[in-house]
Amino acid sequence: MKPALLALALAVAGLVGCATPAAVSAPALALRILPPLTQFGLEGRLQVRDGERSAAVGIDWQHGPARDEWLFTGPLGQGLARIEADGAGARMLLSDGRRSEAASASELAESLLGVSAPFDALPRWVTARPAATAQVRRLDLLGRPLQLVDQGWTIDYLEYAGEAPDSPPRKVDVQRGDTRLRLIVDSWNP
């Protein structure tokens, strides 16, 4: 092959390699299966919208194998509520000292934020570890989910915290009907 033709062929091959899409359909690439995270902490912001109602809060979430604790804060960092959940149920302490109890954190969060969401699925969703029953629709080139459907909810992973295959999500949208939750994680503490 002539040197000029070889150089052209290498240049075209290089351009084709650069044209790889950032997302592919799930059947074209295998989902990278990561072990569940039984313990993690995250700090970030949560935006919630349900029809015409909306709320934006800061969130500090500590998740453990048998216990979860959420601290919700207002725009200026003042504490709004603390929810703790374990095998015995869930408890909420509001900033004005009022206390509530319920069978699950979902019930208390609904009364606080005004939306119903499956809190039992959130540890899997926010760590990008879909349940075996979830339908994975799109993956990135590293095999991380970009979109999945679980329990009627569509979960979109808009951004990951890094380029490593096991990097946790940084921006997650969860939506069903008029209900939408957007979590922006500022820091992870796995």
pTM of the complete model = 0.81
The pLDDT value recorded for residue 45 is 96
Give residue-wise pLDDT tens across range 99-158.
Answer: 999 999 989 988 888 888 778 899 999 999 999 999 999 999 999 999 999 999 999 999
Helices (H), the chain: 3-18, 105-113, 122-126
- In angstroms, the CA 130 to CA 28 distance is 18
* SS3 state at 125: helix
Token pair in block for residue 21: 């899409």
**Residue 23 φ then ψ, to 5°:** -135, 150
Per-residue buried b or exposed e for 19-47, using 16+ beta carbons within 10 Å of the residue's own CB? eeeeeeebeebeeeeeeebeebebbbebe
